A and B are shown apart, each in its own frame.
Chain A
Amino acid sequence: MMHIIMPGLQTLVQDSGRDGYYALGMPPAGALDQRSYTLGNMLVGNDPRAASLEFAFMGPAIQFQSDTVIAVTGAEVTALIDGEPQPMWASVPIKKGQTLSFGPMTRGSRGYIALRGGVDVPKLLGSRSTYQTVQFGGHMGRALKPGDVLPIGTQIHSEDGHGDRIRELDPKYLPSLDSSADLAVVIGLANYRFTPESVQLFFEANFTVSHEANRTAYRLIGPALEFVERDVPFGAGSDPSNVVNLGYPLGSIQIPSGSEPICLLRDAVTGGGYVTFGTIISTDLDALAQLKTPDTVTFNSVSVTEAHAKRRHAHNELAQIAKSLEYPWVFGAEREETP
Chain B
Amino acid sequence: MTEMYRQLSGGGRLSFGGDEFIFVELSEEMRIQQALTIQTLARTLTAMNLPGVTDVCPAHASYMIRYTPERVNLPELLATIQEVHEEMVTGRPATINTCIVDVPVYYNDPWTRETLMKFRDRHQDPSSTDIEYAARVNGFESIDELIAAHTRHPFLVTFMNFVPGNAESVQLVPRDLQIEVPKYKSPRTETPSRAVGHGGAFANIYPSAGAGGVQLLGRTPINVVDMAQTRADFRERPVLLPAGTLVSFRAISEAEYFDIRAAVEADEYRVRIADIEFSVGKHIEDWEGYNDELLEALQ
Contact = CB atoms under 8 A, between A and B. Distances in A.
Given A21-B164, A245-B59, A247-B62, A186 B19 contact: yes
A230 B27 CA distance: 14
Interface in A287-316: 301, 303-304, 307-308, 310-311, 315
Nearest to B175: A234
B61 interface: yes
B58 A23 contact: yes
Interface in B1-60: 1-2, 4-5, 15-21, 23, 25, 27-31, 42, 46, 54-60
Contacts of B60: 235, 244-246
B291 interface: no
Contacts of B55: 19-23
A262 interface: no
B160 interface: yes
Contacts of A251: 17-18
B106 interface: no
Contact of A335 (B2, B29, B68, B162): B68
Contacts of B175: 234
A188 B19 contact: no
Interface in B83-113: none
Nearest to A270: B161
B166 interface: yes
B18 A24 contact: no
Contacts of B225: 134
B248 to A, nearest CB: 21
Contact of B61 (A187, A192, A244): A244
Given A269-B161, A271-B159, A189 B28 contact: no
Contacts of B159: 245, 247, 271
A194 to B, nearest CB: 11
A249 B202 contact: no
B227 interface: yes
A304 B160 contact: no
Size band of the A side of the interface?
Answer: 35 or more
Interface residues of B, number: 61
A234 B29 contact: yes
A150 B16 CA distance: 40
B161 A272 contact: yes
Interface in B227-255: 227, 237-239, 242-243
A181 to B, nearest CB: 15
Contacts of A269: 161-163
Interface string B206-230: 0110000000000000000101000
The A interface, classified by DSSP as helix, strand, loop or mixed, is mixed
A198 interface: no
Nearest to A230: B28
A187 B227 contact: no
A335 B74 CA distance: 18
A19 to B, nearest CB: 5
Contacts of A245: 59-60, 159, 161, 168, 202
B76 interface: no
Contacts of A248: 161
Contact of B57 (A243, A247, A278): A247
B19 A247 contact: no
Interface in A16-33: 19-26
A114 interface: no
B28 A236 contact: yes
Interface string A229-271: 0100111111000011111111110000000000000000111
A136 interface: yes
A114 B201 CA distance: 48
A188 B24 CA distance: 10
A310 B69 CA distance: 12
A311 to B, nearest CB: 5
B70 interface: yes
B18 A282 contact: yes
B163 A188 contact: no
B1 A246 contact: no
A280 interface: yes
Contact of B70 (A279, A310, A332): A332
24 contacts: A19-B55, A20-B55, A23-B42, A24-B164, A125-B238, A134-B164, A188-B4, A188-B5, A199-B1, A235-B60, A238-B182, A245-B59, A246-B60, A247-B159, A249-B17, A249-B20, A271-B59, A271-B159, A278-B18, A282-B18, A304-B74, A308-B69, A332-B71, A335-B70
Interface of A: 19-26, 124-125, 133-134, 136, 185-192, 199, 230, 233-238, 243-252, 269-273, 278-283, 301, 303-304, 307-308, 310-311, 315, 331-332, 335
Interface of B: 1-2, 4-5, 15-21, 23, 25, 27-31, 42, 46, 54-64, 66, 68-71, 74, 159-166, 168, 175, 182-183, 200-202, 207-208, 225, 227, 237-239, 242-243
- For the complex of A and B, list the 10 residue pairs with the smallest distance between their C-beta atoms, beginning with the closest: A188-B15, A235-B30, A271-B161, A249-B17, A233-B29, A279-B18, A247-B64, A249-B21, A307-B19, A22-B57
Given A24-B238, A187-B4, 5 more contacts: A19-B55, A134-B163, A234-B175, A236-B29, A243-B28
